[in-house]
Amino acid sequence: MKWTVLLVLIAVLAVGYHESQAQGPACQYGRAQAFITVKNDPEYLVGTIPSQLTGDKKFLQRIYNCTGRGAQIRRVDLGTYEVRFPGLHRRSGVVSVVSQEGVASSVQPFGRDTYRVALRGPGLVNGVLSRRDVAFTLVIF
């Protein structure tokens, strides 16, 4: 039984290594795979991001995708965004708010190469943190 588990673990690691090599040296595990920073100037610009995916530099300050295929963003609703990194599949993400307002943020994989970002606070609406449109940085590992 122990040997079976060990062989499965080795196979999983080999597949992960092969996938990272297939995407190129910049996409190796252990490095930041992609990032995006939404512009904060002017501050209202964040709320004007369209509901269709866009890679327009008017909204984005910094963009990196180790696959070389850029990034796209769309506003789903107040305080909810989807960020797509074409060619980058189901990784872990960290999001940080670019605001002095005490806004909380979270990110989750959403589909094959897309991540959903939620921004909430600092105020409450019916006992729940209010949704907010503020600038943010998303980093994918």
- Tens of pLDDT, residue by residue over 25-37, are 678 888 899 999 9
Same domain, 69 and 9: no
Same domain, 18 and 76: no
Same domain, 69 and 3: no
Please, which pLDDT band fits residue 23 given cuts at 50, 70 and 90? Answer: low
Same domain, 79 and 23: no
Predicted model pTM: 0.78
Q: What is the domain extent for residue 4?
A: 1-28
**Cα 102 to Cα 19: distance, rounded to the nearest angstrom:** 38
Q: What percent of the chain has pLDDT over 70?
A: 82
Rounded (10°) CA dihedral 116, 122, 125, 126: 100
What are the pLDDT digits (tens) for 58-114?
999 999 999 999 999 999 999 999 999 999 887 889 999 988 888 999 999 988 899
If one compares 13 and 140, the residue with the highest pLDDT of the two is 140
Same domain, 12 and 50: no
The reported pLDDT for the residue numbered 16 is 47
The reported pLDDT for the residue numbered 90 is 75
Domain count, the chain: 2
Same domain, 22 and 81: no
Q: In 3-state terms, what secondary structure has residue 10?
A: helix
Same domain, 22 and 10: yes
Could you tell me what percentage of the chain is helix, strand and coil, using 3-state DSSP and rounding each to the nearest 5? 20, 40, 40
Same domain, 71 and 17: no
